[in-house]
Structure 1
Amino acid sequence: MQETGKTLARARYGAAQAMRAAWYGAQYTIAKRRSAGFNRPGEPEFKPINPVDTKELRKAYLGLFAKDRANIEAGLYPSPEDVRLADLPKAVSRARYFMRDVADVDRRRVAREGDEVREQFEGSNRYPDYYQQNFHYQTDGWLSDDSAKLYDHQVEALFTGAADAMRRGALAEIAQEMKGRDQREVKLLDLACGTGRFLRETMRAFPRLQATGLDLSPNYAGRARQLVAPWPQVEIIEGQAEVLPLEDESLDMIVSIYLFHELPEEVRAKAIAEAARVLKPGSAFIVADSLQFGDNDGLDGILEHFPEGFHEPYYNAYLAWDFAPAMEAAGFKLERTELAFLTKVNVWRKTEG
């Protein structure tokens, strides 16, 4: 009976993820056909230095879901609730909105107009200069309610339904850290929590956790508050990763999802130093971010496409950036690394004393 239940659970998981891949993959294909491609008028043709190894790409993609299913079966976190008939109307609405926005995104991409939002904040110091951009060429950057509602859908379409599974690679590391610990006594920070999508999954897995989400966008923070509303102990605050509004050694764990490739190099080091300041000795800093050159040689070629096809102003520098000097200077030591398709999850430990 137990084996039958496991087989059925695997079948349900496989069917759900296949549906997601088809759903988001179809939207990405349509969006790509409607776009002008990587080449821009008056500029040399874009040619990546490294070829894209399609066999390795497929292997890493399928391996991601095999690992995700294994983590679920091992009890590290619950099965995702992302394919439900009741959610279909909202999913269709987001898909329509995504498709309507494709033309505006492509216009900015062709014209290399990645800082339209800057005009809203002339003469204001509310946001750091590096943040006042239309990252990914998306409408309103990260600074509107419409952007907050659409963002997760855009990311899933870009990665053909793999984004949530890649994020769960970090959730697996949280689960490892939580073994034998009382959830009620663990204080976790989701650094740059965005819309709260990952934090919501964390709370589904550990509903008594004392969690805080921090994001610089008031619109994304507002969306996050909606998603984590079922857990009244969770707090969402607004602030910068490099100037955390938190007390020294007040946290037991920090997780960061796709933050560092969006930061200038000097800000990355400051954010790491701040993480070290607010973490207790012996605590973990879990960093999930884009692969970098050399993590998987067969995928280096696809990494070159991101800053060309999307407005990623600090991504090229990130690809060859070494975390170790800044991490070690702040008192962190690397414990383990896991690859999850196009994501790398590193667990850094703040040393004692």
Structure 2
Amino acid sequence: MDTLATWSRRAAYAARQGARVGWFAAHGELAQAITKRVARRHGSAGSKAPRRRPIGPTPDQRRLFAQIADLFRRDLANVEAGHYPLPSGEFGSPAAFLDLSRRFLADVPKVARRRATGAHQEVFEATRDEPAGLPRYYRQNFHFQTDGWLSRDSARIYDFQVEVLFKGATAAMRRQALVPLSQLLRQKDQRRVAYADIACGTGGLLAPALTAFPRLAGVGVDLSHPYLQHARTTLSRRARARASFVTAPAEALPFADDSLDVASCVYLFHELPPKVRRQVAAEFARVLKPGGLLIFADSLQEGDLPENDGLLHLFPALFHEPYYEGYLTDDLDGMFARAGLRLREMTPAFLTRVAVYEKV
């Protein structure tokens, strides 16, 4: 019976992830076709989009899908090891999923226009006369996305957008950060663990964490009030009762010294200027208790998986990622060490590095 249940679970997982990859890869093909049409309309000669050749090796499509398959095998192994439950649809009902597809495709021409013309300061122009509060580096159209991080419409389609970008593998990459959290919580009473997810965005890690660990409470911190509003709506009723949200920058965290047992951040550091990265690292060290853990998930860096180095260097050329190129070669381990956080482990997961740092 156990063997039958195992194979049934594996078959269901494989079918679900296979359909997921096919769905988001198809949207990627549609988006590329729309983008090319918009670029022709604006004229390639007038395009401001940067063009470059890969620097270093770049995996072909076959190898890229093989890497995704490896990620899914690890994801399923984590489920079977009890680190987190079998993933379910994070986009809601089929009707809601189709609505997101419609919204995504309707937004693609707007993104394509910005890419073709090099426009990425619409958010700054729209907020130029507003009261101070959001840092300048934050007020721009990262990824050429509509409204940057500053609207509910942006928040609503953001997760769909990144799944299209990574062919349906984003949630599985993000879930790898739950493994060190699971290992920590096996040693502690979940109810007594002080946990915060920094730059939580739409709740992409906080939501599955509170689902996987039903006695854990968590604080989501982000600069975008609209994204925090959306994050709350993604939580189940039971998880919502254990969640709180605070609008604040990662470089000025709203926690007392030595107050957190564990903090996490996902896909934050490649969006930060170098100086701000160091400020955020110091803040993590300040708010963590001695022996507390930082669970860090972000883009691979150069050399983490050498076969992907060329792909990483292409990324900032295709999307508005002003701080990404510097991130690729930044000495993260040295930066965290100088702040008082020692590297315990680092594991590549497709295009993500998952690292655990301990406050010494």
TM-score, normalization: structure 2?
Answer: 0.94
Question: Cα distance, 1:208 vs. partner?
Answer: 1.2
CA distance, structure 2, for counterparts of residue 345 and residue 56 of structure 1: 21
Q: Partner residue of 1:140?
A: 147
Change (3 A) 1:222 1:291: same
CA distance, structure 2, for counterparts of residue 112 and residue 203 of structure 1: 39
CA distance, structure 2, for counterparts of residue 230 and residue 129 of structure 1: 37
Amino acid in structure 2 at the alignment position of 1:81: S
Q: Partner residue of 2:64?
A: 57
**Secondary structure of 1:15's partner?**
helix
Question: Cα distance, 1:298 vs. partner?
Answer: 0.7
Instruction: Give CA-to-partner distance per residue, 1:263-318, whole Å, 9 cap, x none.
Output: 00000000010011000000110100000111111111111221111111100111
CA distance, structure 2, for counterparts of residue 204 and residue 198 of structure 1: 10
Q: Judge conservation of contact 1:57–1:299 (CA < 8 Å) in 2.
A: no
Could you tell me which of 183, 186, 190 is aligned with 2:193?
186
CA distance, structure 1, for counterparts of residue 117 and residue 337 of structure 2: 40
**Secondary structure of 1:46's partner?**
coil
RMSD over equivalenced CA pairs, Å: 1.7
Q: Judge conservation of contact 2:261–2:292 (CA < 8 Å) in 1.
A: yes
Q: Judge conservation of contact 1:56–1:298 (CA < 8 Å) in 2.
A: no
Which stretch shows the higher mean deviation, 328-337 or 57-66? Answer: 57-66
Which stretch shows the higher mean deviation, 86-95 or 279-288? Answer: 86-95
Q: Partner residue of 2:329?
A: 320
CA distance, structure 1, for counterparts of residue 45 and residue 213 of structure 2: 51
Question: Cα distance, 1:248 vs. partner?
Answer: 0.8
Instruction: Give CA-to-partner distance per residue, 1:137-173, whole Å, 9 cap, x none.
Output: 0000000010010100101111110000000010112
Q: Partner residue of 1:214?
A: 221
Which stretch shows the higher mean deviation, 275-284 or 227-236? Answer: 227-236
**Secondary structure of 1:202's partner?**
helix
**Secondary structure of 1:283's partner?**
strand
Q: Partner residue of 1:171?
A: 178
Q: Judge conservation of contact 1:260–1:289 (CA < 8 Å) in 2.
A: yes
CA distance, structure 2, for counterparts of residue 79 and residue 122 of structure 1: 45
State whether structure 2 residue 253 is matched by structure 1 residue 244.
yes
CA distance, structure 2, for counterparts of residue 58 and residue 162 of structure 1: 10
Percent identity (aligned): 43
CA distance, structure 2, for counterparts of residue 46 and residue 135 of structure 1: 19
CA distance, structure 2, for counterparts of residue 230 and residue 138 of structure 1: 32
CA distance, structure 2, for counterparts of residue 261 and residue 146 of structure 1: 23
How is 1:294-309 mapped onto 2 (pairs within 5 angstroms)? Answer: 294-309=303-318
Q: Name stretches of at least 5 consecutive residues in structure 2 with no aligned partner.
A: none
**Secondary structure of 2:67's partner?**
helix
Instruction: Give CA-to-partner distance per residue, 1:211-243, whole Å, 9 cap, x none.
Output: 100000010011112223533121111000001
Q: Partner residue of 2:281?
A: 272
Change (3 A) 1:116 1:283: same
Q: Partner residue of 2:166?
A: 159
State whether structure 2 residue 41 is matched by structure 1 residue 41.
no
Q: Partner residue of 2:135?
A: 128
**Secondary structure of 2:294's partner?**
strand
CA distance, structure 1, for counterparts of residue 242 and residue 172 of structure 2: 26
Q: Partner residue of 1:104?
A: 110
State whether structure 2 residue 234 is matched by structure 1 residue 253.
no
State whether structure 2 residue 20 is matched by structure 1 residue 12.
no
Q: Judge conservation of contact 2:53–2:314 (CA < 8 Å) in 1.
A: no
Instruction: Give CA-to-partner distance per residue, 1:73-127, whole Å, 9 cap, x none.
Output: 000000111189x711111110011001000001001111111011222143220
Q: Name stretches of at least 5 consecutive residues in structure 1 with no aligned partner.
A: none
Could you tell me which of 267, 279, 294 is aligned with 1:285?
294
Amino acid in structure 2 at the alignment position of 1:308: A
CA distance, structure 1, for counterparts of residue 93 and residue 56 of structure 2: 40
CA distance, structure 1, for counterparts of residue 24 and residue 146 of structure 2: 20
Q: Which runs of 4+ in 1 moved over 4 A?
A: 37-40, 42-45
Q: Partner residue of 1:24?
A: 24
Which stretch shows the higher mean deviation, 278-287 or 50-59? Answer: 50-59
State whether structure 2 residue 67 is matched by structure 1 residue 66.
no
Change (3 A) 1:244 1:256: same
Instruction: Give CA-to-partner distance per residue, 1:47-90, whole Å, 9 cap, x none.
Output: 11224122542332111000000000000000111189x71111
Question: Cα distance, 1:321 vs. partner?
Answer: 0.7
CA distance, structure 2, for counterparts of residue 122 and residue 303 of structure 1: 32
Which stretch shows the higher mean deviation, 322-331 or 255-264? Answer: 322-331
Could you tell me which of 324, 330, 338 is aligned with 2:339?
330
Change (3 A) 1:40 1:274: farther
**Secondary structure of 2:219's partner?**
strand
Q: Partner residue of 2:232?
A: 225
Which stretch shows the higher mean deviation, 95-104 or 27-36? Answer: 27-36
Amino acid in structure 2 at the alignment position of 1:82: G
